[in-house]
Structure 1
Amino acid sequence: MVSRVIPVDPFDLVVFGGTGDLARRKILPALFRRFQAGQMGESSRVIGAARSDMDAEAYRGFVRAAIEEFDPQAASDSAALEEFLGRLSYVALDAKGTAGWDKLAGEVSAGRIRAFYFSVGPGLFGDLAQRLHDYGMADHDSRIVVEKPFGRDLASARALNRGLAQHFQEHQIYRIDHYLGKETVQNLMAVRFGNMLFEPLWNSQYVDHIQITVAESVGVGGRGDYYDRAGAMRDMMQNHLMQLLCLIAMEPPAKFDPDAVRDEKLKVIRALDPVAPDNVVRGQYQAEGDKPDYCTQVENPDSRTESFVALKAHISNWRWAGTPFYLRTGKRLKDRASEIAVVFKEAPHSIFGAGAGRHRNILTIKLQPNEGIELGVTIKEPGPGGMRLIDVPLDMTFAEALGPDSADFPDAYERLIMDVIRGNQTLFMRGDEVEAAWAWTDPIIEGWEERGEAPQPYASGSAGPDDSLMLMHRDGRRWREIKP
């Protein structure tokens, strides 16, 4: 099975920060794959823009090297790569000054879709928006894409929203979270609202609890300076995990429409209870073997920034009252794995007696590294000797269920960039949604800062701090084992 390619209208895409790490690793290879798939018409173009002093030919060499490094299989199609590189140009400019902006204004075409990808730090968002306006590029056919972090607290997020709103309307602003572009994340809505099997059970009457895990086996790497200012709560919990929580908990929208979907997500965030201090655990990884500890990697021996956070949340509405949501994310954990587990309650009465043990159904949505959906069901263990029950998985790993061509499905950045060109904001965060998420997150961060709490140490390659296990154990529950 191969994905059906839907052509998009001709466009100019300007990538600010076009020589940066995100452009090199993700954006440019994603655009090339969409070109190979036939979604970039003959007149569509990509324009890199950055401070680096280079000409268009040098930029094409930079892009070629990036694609060869990060997607060598796609780069092996040399004819397609040469044709794609022919669509590229480059403008050296100063985001805070005037140099290069006249040239950029002459490069982009009027009367067609013009998208501007802000692959830069949020401190430059306002400057870029202002100059796009000043040089006549902020018209009704224009749209901007902004990367996280969208602020570091409620006040800064509001300031960023106000700055962008001076020159762009909300329907022109695409706040990108690549997690929402994953095939399995989108399948959450298909599973919930496309199957009568699940939706009647999707509530506190039948669901015991829900676990959301985003575990990384790597450390902070070369992001130490940024990460030590952000931490796991700002970097992952406030956006990625919050979005997963919204999708798993939201009410059915009236239709699959951008604002209808985002309205329901916003309701979830606004229904979240404040989190008590004893329902939050922070951790910081320690040295293990040849792997350095967190403080060494960020070059800050006194750092009190968390590389791990786990918490228990409650949603005060009719659907979820009394059902806990356990969320955790961290670096240098046992394995790289992201999943959502919907743990259903046990049957109210077992006809098989105490010897049959305790059993419950678990629906697991696997996000990475192997995307798929698994439903655990209870069956009789084969063989003689009485009614012995065991739990077995009904597994739909995409690569197995949909065939080898499923690997050709667009990745998150491919899908989201094409959604920008189409003008589809369903998988992008709205301004009020971002602000509501910060309004819930800020008191948690302020609380541990006021208490002067240091993060708990945990061994690299473990499941996190011991207290994160107790967060579940004291409720008579267990975290699912972290595994790919």
Structure 2
Amino acid sequence: MAAQQSTSSTGEIPSSGGSNEHSLESNTLIVVLGASGDLAKKKTFPALFGLYNNGFLPKGIRVVGYARTKMDEEEYHKRVQQYIKAPIPAMKEKLQEFLKICTYVSGQYDEDDSFQTLEKALGEIESQYEDKNSPKNRVFYMALPPSVFTTVAAHLRKNNYSEGGINRIIVEKPFGSDLASSRKMQEELKAEWKEDEIFRIDHYLGKEMVKNLLVLRFANVMLDASFNKSLISNVQITFKEPFGTEGRGGYFDEFGIIRDVMQNHLLQVLSILTMERPVSFSSEDIRDEKVKVLRYIPPISKDEVLLGQYVGAETKDGKKPGYLEDDTVPKDSICPTFAAAVMHINSPRWEGVPFILKAGKALNEQKTEIRIQYKDVTQGIFAEITRNELVIRVQPGEAVYLKMNSKAPGLSMRTVPTEMDLTYKRRFSDLKIPEAYEALILDAFKGDHSNFVRDDELDIAWKIFTPLLHHIDEQKPKPEPYSYGSRGPVGLDDFTAKHGGYKRSEKPYSWPSTSVL
């Protein structure tokens, strides 16, 4: 079901096409700005190596790291391979090949002289291309803090733009902290770069199960037909992390769980889950439909939000500190580390169906999943039967379950909850699920914007969340405490039942596949 993504006789989704969506095949280099930082080391370079190892990068690709840190090539290579896994000899050889195409330039983020030094290095590399006359293409990956996004983008456009070639700039989240700051950032970015040159990364859009949502919906008639207010009672989209800030509280406290996870990752999942069928698989058709469904969502009401902050507790792994015990967190912080918010889509398809987005740190497990609960069966012979649920596990252990009722084997008429189960590790045991960053970087090289955030989409997303964020910033409501390693605040179940109408099964039930997830 998920592996084929069939929309044609060959089983392949047609390419996006479009005049601005050119795949870079050769004469291309990628500049990783912020090359000495954690994001580049943990995500960008491992993703680039994964693509290189499998032959997906343009022919003759060169990788140039750029950062303020002064270091020689040996130190740079050590940092590049710090998080790259090469378990077999063939991959170790490939890694050494990869390091040979990686070079480094040190410079500031706000000085023309530094970017002109970078330009000189890029020119020297490009002078070695076999085809001297073809256009020279450049991809700029900004693995940088948002405070320097627009400054660096302006310097790149002024000093390092390839005239006659294809230029692309990849920007990491967060894209602002509210509607006004986001608009300012986008105005400054688009003053220098065209929209079709900008690729705004939200790595959740590169996750296999999120990309599979389009296929699950629109390639399966029975599922698509059931996605409406007549059959669905409520939808929950949940993000859970089993660890706290762990010394990174300074960064987290500035943004909080809503800005860090909910406004971007979970809202992206929601828009793909609920959008109408696009005319084609072209990037603009897909993003048009995402924007349309987001326009139906009013700003979140402060009365339909539950906020929490974790406190220290004894867990199976020992005593865990609370959020305020993190030395990098202000001792009087009221920053939420957990949030549950109810969203409404006032469209003909979804009006009246509550969507509950939940995200939290220091919870009882690692999990991102979508749980779609259908309405009760018509009153009658099965009045007290368990509700059907469609569960889509995004990570870890990608899976799809359809929870249904069945007669228990035997002479009596007894119903039991059971499931139709698609667990990726079992069904697709011979296939490797690509990392999200690999998929998105490859899309950027192809020029496919389908899984990147468009400017108007970003604007609407901030409109939905900004009133709530300003309420939290200004009124400073005190979040409910919850124990490290718990499911969240004590009032979570009551909140979910009150605002979402979610019904827990009274009959004992557990997914049989949890041991392999």
| Band the TM-score falls in, shorter-chain normalisation | over 0.9
Q: How does 1:3-82 map to 2 (within 5 A)?
A: 9-10=25-26, 11-67=28-84, 71-73=85-87, 77-82=91-96
Q: CA deviation at 1:32?
A: 0.8
SS of aligned partner of 2:222 = coil
- 1:138–1:167 CA contact under 8 A, matched in 2: no
Going from structure 1 to structure 2, the CA distance change for 1:42 and 1:81 (only over 3 Å counts) comes to same
Q: Deviations over 1:222-242 (max 9, x none)?
A: 321110010011111110111
Partner amino acid, structure 2, of 1:421: F
Q: TM-score, normalised by structure 1?
A: 0.93
Amino acid at match of 2:108: D
CA distance in structure 2 between the partners assigned to 1:135 and 1:113 by the alignment: 15
Note closer, same or farther for the CA distance 1:331–1:102 as it changes in structure 2 (3 Å cut). Answer: same
Mapping of 1:438-449 within 5 angstroms? 438-449=462-473
**Distance in 1 separating the partners of 2:348 and 2:32:** 44
**Which of residues 366, 387, 401 in structure 1 aligns to 2:427?**
401
Name the CA distance, whole Å, in 2 between partners of 1:463 and 1:175.
32
Give, in angstroms, the shift of residue 77 of structure 1.
2.1
Q: 1:263 aligns with which of 288, 293, 299?
A: 288
**Aligned counterparts of 1:242 and 1:153: Cα–Cα separation in 2:** 15
1:294-338 deviation per Cα after TM superposition (whole angstroms, max 9, x unaligned): 012133110010000001111111000110001100000110111
Instruction: Check if 1:288 corresponds to 2:317.
Output: no
Q: Mean Cα displacement is larger for which, 341-350 or 364-373?
A: 341-350
The CA deviation string for residues 348-387 of structure 1, in whole angstroms up to 9 with x for no partner, is 24435x5xx32222111101111121111211011122x1
Q: 1:33 to 1:138 in 2, by over 3 A?
A: same
Taking the aligned partners of 2:88 and 2:112, their CA distance within structure 1 comes to 37
The answer as to whether partners of 1:472 and 1:479 remain within 8 angstroms in 2 is: no
Tell me whether 1:92 sits opposite 2:121 in the alignment.
no
Regions of 4+ moved over 4 Å: 1-4, 478-484
CA gap of 1:479–1:117, structure 2 versus 1, over 3 A, is: farther
Residue 234 of structure 2 corresponds to which residue in structure 1? 209
2:459 equivalent among 435, 443, 453? 435
**How many Å separate the matches in 1 of 2:35 and 2:485?**
35
Give the deviation of 1:42 after TM superposition.
Answer: 4.2
Instruction: State the AA in 1 paired with 2:42.
Output: R
Distance change in 2, residues 1:135/1:448 (3 Å): closer
Q: What is the rounded CA distance, in whole Å, between the counterparts of 2:149 and 2:468 in structure 1?
A: 27
Q: Aligned pair in 2 of structure 1 residues 275, 65: CA closer, same or farther (>3 Å)?
A: closer
Give the 3-state SS of the residue equivalent to 1:248 in structure 2: helix
1:303 and 2:333 equivalent? Answer: yes
Q: Secondary structure at the match of 1:309?
A: strand
Do the aligned residues in 1 keep the contact of 2:179 with 2:466 (CA within 8 Å)?
A: yes
SS in structure 2 of the partner of residue 436 of structure 1: helix
Task: Report the 3-state secondary structure (helix = DSSP H, G, I; strand = E; otherwise coil) of the residue aligned with 1:221.
Answer: coil
User: Are the counterparts in 1 of residues 299 and 463 from structure 2 also a CA contact under 8 Å?
Assistant: no
Q: Which residue does 2:418 correspond to in 1?
A: 392
Mark the runs of 5 or more structure 1 residues left unpaired by the alignment. Answer: none
Q: What SS class does the counterpart of residue 281 from structure 2 fall into?
A: coil
Structure 1 residue 62, shift from structure 2 partner: 2.0
**Superposition deviation, residue 450 in structure 1:** 4.0
Instruction: Tell me how far apart the structure 1 counterparts of residues 113 and 77 of structure 2 sit (CA, whole Å).
Output: 21
Q: Name which of 189, 199, 212 aligns with 1:164.
A: 189
Measure the CA separation in 1 of the matches of 2:273 and 2:82: 39
| Residue equivalent to 2:20 | none
Aligned equivalent of 2:175: 150
1:422-469: CA deviation from partner (whole Å, max 9, x where unpaired): 000000001111111111101012223443311110011111112322
Distance 1:84 1:74 in 2: 15
Offset from partner CA, 1:134-192 (integer Å, 9 cap, x none): 21416561111111111001111111101111111111111101111010001111000
Question: Identity over aligned residues, as a percent?
Answer: 36
Q: Which runs of 5+ in 2 are unaligned?
A: 5-11, 16-22, 127-133
Instruction: Give the residue type in structure 2 aligned to 1:34.
Output: L
Match in the other structure for 1:419: 443
Letter in 2 for 1:152: S
Q: Give the superposition deviation at 1:264.
A: 1.2
Shift of 1:76: 7.1
